């Protein structure tokens, strides 16, 4: 490099970017946050402070978003993102990450500091939310209700901002309305209302294995004691895993869930949107990602089998299902699934994916055998540890807390077992792909930079290759930020979906043909899908 | 075993790097890429996004740094001062010498200047290289207003970049509307309107006459209309020219660019030239002799790789295509839509009332054969249009199948019906007259 770099970017700082209106909006929003901070100090705040706090935060974000996007031409506006402290891992980003992380730590492990009191009246922040909680579910608030309210509010108000930012793109608009709807209706209101009706807390779109509690002993007891409705819920939960999910993924790819329905995805797409470019695209991270996410999947499978096994062990007379039959059945199911994939889709898998699958299956089968022969029941303990390590520490603390540092899909990308399951379905049998108009690609890198899942989209686009990566959540932003219209999310025929022999158009047809042949002949079995 | 042949490539742009990658794919030759501009290959077309803060410099590198070693492509940051073809030797600045068996010149282009007095003042610059971008950062640190000369792609990029830093921009455009030497007038006016809607001032049919400065820095310009415009930055974007000054006095035959035959070989055996710096002695398919376009540079890289690896291949590009973006409006073109159609070409224009979408189709007025299409704000599928051009489809076929070529994201509004009825109307009117 010929000149020394003084700055994070090649081109240094632009002029100050906050307008007066935006400064005022920031003030309004933070006043709202301040009110909730006051509540933490255990002050008995009047009821109106709750509404005032929520209102001010919403108002602040809405005014800010309006000033930022309204009255300006619709189109992708990422100006200055890498110059701003908040979105370029500056002081503000680190501060926000640390604050969020601390909030999660308190929320998960020290809710009493938020004023949560399971044995008496709530105080502080949780107490402030009591009236709202009573209004919806008829019960006093818990720390989870407070969190759920903030979470939903974040998706709604930042969803509004997202809608303004991408208003020229109908795919983004519909998708955002969808995540807002599912968060408000299905994730927030329906479970609370079910509680009011004395039914089990149940969110129909929170599907196992993301919802690792679905088969927890306490949950199963709840379902079974709730009569037909409980059984219906359990049945729906199981059908979601084995029937609904695979069918929808076959037609639309995993995006129907990850970026249209899921609450984790919902928050990532709305509140997390300003951080999407921070995800690491290096090959090293990609390798790490595949190991870690599938490890979590193995963990959740083992944990779930153990939990159900323990439950059957403790209630042997209540069910037709014998604990050992269940174990053998689970093992048989996994072997069958593996066998089918091996027979029909083996040629679609890379060498290390095959190795990983064999190792994973062996581990699960070994643990099942250990259960079978020892009769041990570590189910609850395992669930506790899974809940602590994955459910709380990974998905919450790291997953959201680190948005401003590692990007908005840390959890979805590295930890979500649901994403791993859907990813396999998407990779192996789905009509979904991102088609590339590779001839028109200028390798600018906008697509890769703004891929929240850390996929090096450009590596495919500049080769003219369709993208069928299992991690792709189909957010559509790569297509939106492409200045040449090179990428398109599509559901189409399975035939020709994977076109690794593609060559870039525009050349002499004889040459294209020759290159295609050479590509086939020299395909290095060790090469990664990156950059080859 | 004998040592492998040494292929040296001067220039690490898309042309040189594509050649290197394809040579590596099909051979075991020793490959060295020499560049004075940057350590690693980067996407020149994306320089603007770094300035605008969409991306950081490292995002411009399409390949991670390990890629080159893993693929045994040696990168060398150095400046080639002289080529001695008789001894196949390169003389680098600093005295180092490199022997080559095959040499590929992919030195790209440099901004063209107008030869007006004052172009060497501080604050006057073009935008092609990484160094130009660094200079722009320097030059706009305290910039209050800017003038850009030239209504082309680099001009509008420059305008968009400065716009994000809230620097007022005036553009001097020689033609009646933006990029009118390439676009039909209606398209050009459509783009002019869009650029103006962002507050950029366009002075059409205006040229730069004088540059004024004090203390070695530009302060204002005078236009051909006699107007004086104050500015701290003067962007020159009237085009680029091949970067070949270091070849003057060598045996390699040059004109505007490095002259090459259909095999991309220069007058000297084993010396080839590709990309922006190459000038075709016998351009094919009605193409220009110098095409400073990303896509053609890539194609030449692919072609020369075959020739060098023992499969002599003439450069014979397929159907013309190109793309660009003017602020929010994406532009794609397939086939040829002439800026000034003669009597053997007719155009159909459609424009959406919101001013962000337009389509122009060129065809032969007698046999209705389809020549090409310009689309603005509507994405098209390259593969489909390429096939239609090969199959020599006629206008009726294009219009009735336009939907198949659409590449817009899901749920987008479709305009094929509107376009179809508007065009039907236009054709009927023409036939009646």
Hey, is the C-beta of A511 within 8 angstroms of any chain B C-beta? yes
Asked if A514 and B311 come within 8 Å (Cβ–Cβ), the reply is yes
Residue showing tokens 């968009």: B160
**For residue B309, which residues of chain A lie inside 8 Å, CB to CB?**
none
Closest Cβ–Cβ partner in A485, A506, A522 for B379: A485
Q: How many Cβ atoms are within 10 Å of A392's Cβ, its own excluded?
A: 18
pLDDT along chain B (433 residues), means of 10: 89 97 95 95 96 95 95 96 94 96 97 94 96 96 95 95 96 97 97 97 97 96 97 96 93 96 96 97 90 95 96 94 96 96 95 96 95 97 96 95 96 95 91 82
Answer whether residue A7 shows pLDDT above 80. no
> Both tokens of residue A198?
């004395």
Closest Cβ–Cβ partner in A73, A174, A510 for B197: A73
Between strands B169-172 and B146-149, the pairing is parallel
Nearest CA in chain A to B21: A532
CA neighbor of B374 nearest in space, from B411, B341, B348, B353: B348
**For residue A3, which residues of chain B lie inside 8 Å, CB to CB?**
134
Answer whether residue A3 shows pLDDT above 50. no
Hey, is the C-beta of B199 within 8 angstroms of any chain A C-beta? no
CA neighbor of A300 nearest in space, from A143, A419, A197: A419
**For residue A11, which residues of chain B lie inside 8 Å, CB to CB?**
50-51, 53, 133-134, 136-137
User: How far apart are the CA of B87 and the nearest CA of chain A, in angstroms?
Assistant: 31
User: How far apart are the CA of A3 and the nearest CA of chain B, in angstroms?
Assistant: 9
CA neighbor of A459 nearest in space, from A471, A447, A470: A447
- What is the three-class DSSP state of B148? strand
Q: How far apart are CA A377 and CA A386, in angstroms?
A: 15
Q: How far apart are CA A281 and CA A454, in angstroms?
A: 5
Give residue A15's pLDDT: 52
**For residue B410, which residues of chain A lie inside 8 Å, CB to CB?**
170-171, 489-490
Q: How far apart are CA B28 and CA B3, in angstroms?
A: 10
Give residue A448's pLDDT: 97
Hey, is the C-beta of B306 within 8 angstroms of any chain A C-beta? yes
Answer whether residue A76 shows pLDDT above 90. no
Hey, is the C-beta of B21 within 8 angstroms of any chain A C-beta? no
Express as a percent the part of chain A with pLDDT over 90: 67
Hey, is the C-beta of A86 within 8 angstroms of any chain B C-beta? no
Strand partners, B91: B82, B97
Q: How far apart are CA B269 and CA A24, in angstroms?
A: 69
**A15-19, A237-241, B401-405: range with lowest mean pLDDT:** A15-19
Q: pLDDT for A475-531, tens place per residue?
A: 999 999 999 999 999 999 988 888 888 888 888 888 888 888 888 877 554 444 443
Q: What angle do CA A400, A430, A364 make, to 5 degrees?
A: 65
Helix and strand numbers, DSSP H then E, in chain A: 25, 2
Nearest CA in chain B to A511: B303
Hey, is the C-beta of A528 within 8 angstroms of any chain B C-beta? no
Question: Which string of DSSP letters, residue by residue, matches A180-247?
Answer: HHIIIIIIIIHHHHHHHTT-----TT--TTTSTTTT-HHHHHHHHHTHHHHHHHHHHHHHIIIIIHHH
The average confidence (pLDDT) of chain A is 89
Closest Cβ–Cβ partner in A10, A283, A519 for B133: A10
A260: Cβ contacts below 8 Å, ≥ 6 apart:
A175, A178, A179, A182
Hey, is the C-beta of A11 within 8 angstroms of any chain B C-beta? yes
Q: Which domains does chain B have, with CATH numbers?
A: 6-110+241-308 (3.50.50.60), 124-238 (3.50.50.60), 321-432 (3.30.390.30)
Q: What angle do CA A339, A343, A346 make, to 5 degrees?
A: 105
Closest Cβ–Cβ partner in A10, A74, A490 for B134: A10
Hey, is the C-beta of B169 within 8 angstroms of any chain A C-beta? no
**For residue A506, which residues of chain B lie inside 8 Å, CB to CB?**
295, 299, 317-319, 321, 382, 386
Q: How far apart are CA B313 and CA A3, in angstroms?
A: 41
Q: pLDDT for A286-324, tens place per residue?
A: 999 999 999 999 999 999 998 998 888 888 877 788 888
Closest Cβ–Cβ partner in A174, A442, A483 for B330: A483
DSSP A471: T
Nearest CA in chain A to B47: A444
The b-or-e profile of A374-387 (16+ CB within 10 A means b, else e) is: eeebbbbebbeebb
Q: Which residue of A86, A443, A526 to mutate against B (max B Cβ within 10 Å)? A: A443
CA B344 to chain centre: 28
A168: Cβ contacts below 8 Å, ≥ 6 apart:
A74, A75, B328
Q: Which residue of B382, B389, B414 to mutate against A (max A Cβ within 10 Å)? A: B382
Give residue A14's pLDDT: 55
Give residue A257's pLDDT: 97
Residue showing tokens 């990168």: B75
Asked if B412 and A171 come within 8 Å (Cβ–Cβ), the reply is yes
DSSP B54: S
Q: What is the mean pLDDT of residues A383-409?
A: 89
Q: Which of residues 388-427 of B touch A (CB under 8 A)?
A: 390, 407-413
The number of C-alpha atoms within 13 Å of A127 and in the hemisphere containing its C-beta is 20
A350 confidence band (pLDDT: 50, 70, 90): confident
B101: Cβ contacts below 8 Å, ≥ 6 apart:
B5, B6, B7, B88, B270
CA B323 to chain centre: 9
Asked if A10 and B64 come within 8 Å (Cβ–Cβ), the reply is no
Give residue B48's pLDDT: 97
Q: How far apart are CA B426 and CA B395, in angstroms?
A: 13
Q: If you count residue pairs, one on A and one on B, with CB atoms under 8 Å apart, how many are there?
A: 196
**For residue B66, which residues of chain A lie inside 8 Å, CB to CB?**
283
Q: pLDDT for A435-453, tens place per residue?
A: 999 999 999 999 999 999 9
Between strands B346-351 and B358-363, the pairing is antiparallel
CA neighbor of B80 nearest in space, from B240, B264, B241, B243: B243
CA neighbor of B147 nearest in space, from B90, B214, B201: B201
Hey, is the C-beta of B79 within 8 angstroms of any chain A C-beta? no
Strand partners, B182: none
Asked if B164 and A505 come within 8 Å (Cβ–Cβ), the reply is no
Nearest CA in chain B to A252: B410
Q: Which of residues 251-290 of B touch A (CB under 8 A)?
A: none
Q: Does the N-terminal peptide bond of residue A209 adopt cis geometry, omega within 30 degrees of 0?
A: yes
Give the residue, B376 or A372, on which the prediction is more confident: B376
User: How far apart are the CA of A282 and the nearest CA of chain B, in angstroms?
Assistant: 7
Asked if A449 and B59 come within 8 Å (Cβ–Cβ), the reply is yes
User: How far apart are the CA of A465 and the nearest CA of chain B, in angstroms?
Assistant: 13
Between strands B6-10 and B102-105, the pairing is parallel
Express as a percent the part of chain A with pLDDT over 70: 95
Q: What angle do CA A450, A454, A458 make, to 5 degrees?
A: 65
Residue showing tokens 């290759």: A465
Q: Which is it for the CA torsion A34, A36, A37, A42, positive or negative? A: positive
Closest Cβ–Cβ partner in B53, B315, B323 for A440: B323
Nearest CA in chain B to A3: B134
Hey, is the C-beta of A8 within 8 angstroms of any chain B C-beta? yes
> Both tokens of residue A351?
């060498």
**For residue B60, which residues of chain A lie inside 8 Å, CB to CB?**
444-445
Asked if B382 and A171 come within 8 Å (Cβ–Cβ), the reply is no
Q: What is the mean pLDDT of residues A201-215?
A: 92
**For residue A440, which residues of chain B lie inside 8 Å, CB to CB?**
295, 321, 323, 332, 382
Q: How many Cβ atoms are within 10 Å of A243's Cβ, its own excluded?
A: 10
Hey, is the C-beta of A71 within 8 angstroms of any chain B C-beta? no
**For residue A489, which residues of chain B lie inside 8 Å, CB to CB?**
409-410
Helix pair angle (A217-225, A283-314), 10° resolution: 50
Hey, is the C-beta of A279 within 8 angstroms of any chain B C-beta? no
CB of A126 within 8 A of CB of A28?
no
Strand partners, B218: B213
Q: pLDDT for B180-224, tens place per residue?
A: 999 999 999 999 999 999 999 999 999 999 999 999 999 999 999
Give residue A16's pLDDT: 54
**A111-120, A393-402, B238-247, B407-416: range with lowest mean pLDDT:** A393-402
CA B18 to chain centre: 16
Asked if B52 and A80 come within 8 Å (Cβ–Cβ), the reply is yes
Q: Which of residues 280-299 of A touch B (CB under 8 A)?
A: 282-283
CA neighbor of B303 nearest in space, from A504, A465, A499, A437: A504
Asked if B137 and A83 come within 8 Å (Cβ–Cβ), the reply is no
Q: How far apart are CA B153 and CA B325, in angstroms?
A: 8
- What is the three-class DSSP state of A39? helix
Nearest CA in chain A to B67: A531
Q: How far apart are CA A456 and CA B296, in angstroms?
A: 24
A151 confidence band (pLDDT: 50, 70, 90): very high
Q: pLDDT for A26-50, tens place per residue?
A: 999 999 999 999 988 877 788 899 9
């Amino acid at each position: 490099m010929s000149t020394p770099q003084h700055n994070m970017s090649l081109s240094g700082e632009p002029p100050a970017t906050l307008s007066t209106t935006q400064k005022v909006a920031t003030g309004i929003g933070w006043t709202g946050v301040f009110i909730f901070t006051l509540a933490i100090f255990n002050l008995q705040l009047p009821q109106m402070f709750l509404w005032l706090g929520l209102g001010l935060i919403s108002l602040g974000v809405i005014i800010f978003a309006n000033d930022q996007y309204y009255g300006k031409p619709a189109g992708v506006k990422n100006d200055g993102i890498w110059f701003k402290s908040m979105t370029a891992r500056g002081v503000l980003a680190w501060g926000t990450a640390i604050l969020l992380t601390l909030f999660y730590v308190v929320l998960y492990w020290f809710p009493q500091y938020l004023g949560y009191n399971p044995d008496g009246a709530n105080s502080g922040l949780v107490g402030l939310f009591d009236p709202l909680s009573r209004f919806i579910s008829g019960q006093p608030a818990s720390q989870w209700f407070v969190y759920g309210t903030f979470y939903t509010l974040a998706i709604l108000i930042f969803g509004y901002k997202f809608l303004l930012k991408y208003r020229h793109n109908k795919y983004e608009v519909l998708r955002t309305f969808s995540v807002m709807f599912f968060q408000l209706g299905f994730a927030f209101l329906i479970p609370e209302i079910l509680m009011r009706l004395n039914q089990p807390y149940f969110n129909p779109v929170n599907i196992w294995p993301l919802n690792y509690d679905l088969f927890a002993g306490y949950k199963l007891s709840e379902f079974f004691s709730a009569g037909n409705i409980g059984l219906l819920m359990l049945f729906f939960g199981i059908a979601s895993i084995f029937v609904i999910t695979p069918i929808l993924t076959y037609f639309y790819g995993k995006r129907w869930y990850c970026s249209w329905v899921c609450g984790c995805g919902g928050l990532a797409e709305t509140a997390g949107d300003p951080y999407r470019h921070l995800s690491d695209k290096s090959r090293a991270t990609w390798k790490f990602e595949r190991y870690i996410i599938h490890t979590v999947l193995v963990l959740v499978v083992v944990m779930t089998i153990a939990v159900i096994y323990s439950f059957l062990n403790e209630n042997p007379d209540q069910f037709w299902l014998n604990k050992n039959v269940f174990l053998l059945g689970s093992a048989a199911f996994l072997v069958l699934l593996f066998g089918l994939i091996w027979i029909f889709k083996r040629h679609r898998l890379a060498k290390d994916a095959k190795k990983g699958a064999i190792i994973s299956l062996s581990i699960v089968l070994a643990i099942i055998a250990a259960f079978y022969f020892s009769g041990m029941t570590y189910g609850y303990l395992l669930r506790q540890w899974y809940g602590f390590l994955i459910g709380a520490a990974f998905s919450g603390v790291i997953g959201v807390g680190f948005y401003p540092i590692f990007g908005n899909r840390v959890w979805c990308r590295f930890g979500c077992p649901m994403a791993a399951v859907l990813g396999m379905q998407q990779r192996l049998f789905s009509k979904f792909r991102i088609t590339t108009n590779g001839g028109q690609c200028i390798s600018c890198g906008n697509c890769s930079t703004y891929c929240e899942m850390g996929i090096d989209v450009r590596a495919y686009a500049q080769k003219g290759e369709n993208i069928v990566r299992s991690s792709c959540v189909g957010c559509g932003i790569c297509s939106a930020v492409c200045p040449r219209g090179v990428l398109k999310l599509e559901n189409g025929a399975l035939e020709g979906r994977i076109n690794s022999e593609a060559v870039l158009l525009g050349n002499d047809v004889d040459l294209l043909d020759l290159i295609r042949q050479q590509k086939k002949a020299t395909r290095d079995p060790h090469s990664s899908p990156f950059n080859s | 075993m004998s040592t492998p042949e040494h292929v040296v490539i001067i220039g690490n742009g898309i042309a040189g790097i594509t050649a290197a990658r394809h040579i590596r794919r099909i051979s075991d030759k020793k490959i060295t890429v020499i560049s004075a501009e940057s350590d690693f290959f980067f996407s020149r077309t994306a320089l603007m996004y770094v300035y605008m803060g969409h991306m950081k410099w490292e995002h411009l590198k399409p390949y991670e740094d390990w890629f080159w070693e893993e693929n045994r492509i040696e990168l060398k940051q150095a400046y080639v001062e002289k080529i001695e073809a008789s001894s196949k030797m390169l003389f680098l600045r600093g005295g180092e010498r490199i022997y080559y068996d095959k040499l590929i010149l992919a030195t790209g282009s440099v901004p063209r200047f107008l030869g007006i007095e004052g172009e060497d003042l501080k604050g006057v610059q073009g935008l092609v290289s990484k160094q130009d971008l660094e200079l722009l950062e320097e030059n706009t640190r305290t910039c209050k207003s800017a003038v850009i000369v030239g209504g082309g792609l680099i001009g509008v990029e420059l305008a968009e970049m400065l716009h994000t830093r809230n620097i007022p921009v005036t553009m001097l455009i020689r033609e009646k509307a933006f990029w009118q030497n390439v676009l039909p007038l209606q398209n050009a006016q459509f783009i002019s309107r869009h650029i103006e809607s962002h507050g950029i001032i366009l002075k059409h049919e205006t040229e730069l006459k004088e540059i004024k400065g004090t203390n070695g820095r530009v302060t204002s310009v005078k236009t051909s209309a006699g107007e004086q415009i104050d500015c701290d930055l003067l962007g020159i974007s009237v085009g680029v020219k091949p970067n070949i000054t270091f070849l003057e006095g060598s045996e390699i035959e040059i004109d505007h660019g490095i002259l090459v035959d259909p095999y991309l070989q220069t007058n000297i055996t084993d010396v080839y030239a590709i990309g922006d710096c190459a000038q075709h002695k016998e351009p094919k398919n009605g193409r220009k002799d110098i095409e400073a376009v990303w896509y053609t540079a890539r194609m030449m890289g692919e072609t020369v790789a075959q020739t060098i690896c023992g499969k002599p291949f003439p450069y014979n590009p397929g159907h013309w295509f190109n793309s660009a973006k003017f602020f929010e409006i994406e532009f794609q073109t397939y086939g040829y839509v002439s800026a000034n159609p003669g009597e053997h070409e007719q155009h159909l224009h459609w424009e959406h009332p919101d001013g962000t979408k337009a389509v122009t189709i060129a065809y032969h007025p007698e046999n209705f054969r389809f020549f090409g299409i310009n689309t603005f704000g509507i994405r098209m599928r390259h593969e489909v249009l390429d096939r239609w051009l090969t199959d020599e489809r006629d206008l009726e076929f294009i219009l009735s199948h336009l939907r198949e070529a659409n590449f817009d994201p899901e749920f987008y509004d479709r305009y094929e019906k509107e376009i179809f009825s508007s065009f039907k109307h236009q054709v009927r009117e023409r036939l009646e007259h």
